[in-house]
Amino acid sequence: MTEPLRLSKRMSELGLCSRREADEWIARGWVRVDGVVVSELGSKVLPHQKVTVERQAAAEQSKRVTVLVHKPIGFVSGQAEDGYRPAVVLVTPENRWEEDRAPMRFHPTQLRSLVPAGRLDIDSTGLLVLTQDGRIAKQLVGEDGKVEKEYLVRVEYTRPGRLPDADLKRLNFGMTMDGKKLKPAQVRWQNDDQLRFVLQEGRKRQIRRMCEMVGLRVLGLKRVRIGGVALGDLPQGQWRYLGADEQF
């Protein structure tokens, strides 16, 4: 017999919301299982049971914002650490890109639960996603995520000559990190001292460590795209809203 699952987990699997949102909606009486309201946290359901949410939940979710930041070097992605400021401090009315066409107006409540969907190292720059929407967070940082992330990486070869083609192939496929095989990547030369990386995963300092394995030193790293959303002309240190017509 199929095992029952926690209702919040099942809602997350169905793409309705994040687990945290699910618990909030269950407590508010906004969730039905086979047409019956379930308001007890920790409730379980079978996979074949029909889970629906009330209109209030959808309305609440539609108010949640997602922000794209061009993170400069020296800011951390998440919580403040070691005296460094988190990227969320850049999300102010003054720092909003003047060419942002989104109809939304900034309000301080949009900063509540605005969390990074994925990391970008303190010494890296480029596109960082901050979101209140658990569905987007799950899509970008979930274990089964398949969203591509694209980077421009300025490098210096620390060995004599140029990087051998065999090592470029290794960067594309065949590397192991922390005892686990890396997913295939797309790595090619952009110009004489810059590589373009496209990854479907984001282990801690992954690109820098990959480069070290083949004798490359990273001099600069910039994330220019996440899925279908590009950094584009967004100036460094500024932000804009994710448009209604944009999808990762």
Token pair listed for 53: 């949410």
d(CA 130, CA 71): 11
Token pair listed for 145: 């995520």
121 is catalytic: yes
Of 121, 123, 165, 167, catalytic: 121
Measure CA of the first residue to CA of the last residue in the chain; give whole Å: 37
d(CA 193, CA 170): 18
d(CA 138, CA 118): 10
Question: What is the secondary structure of 93-123 as a DSSP string?
Answer: GGGB-TT----PPP-GGGGTT-EESS---TT
Instruction: Name the residue type at position 99.
Output: E
Give the catalytic positions in this structure. Answer: 121
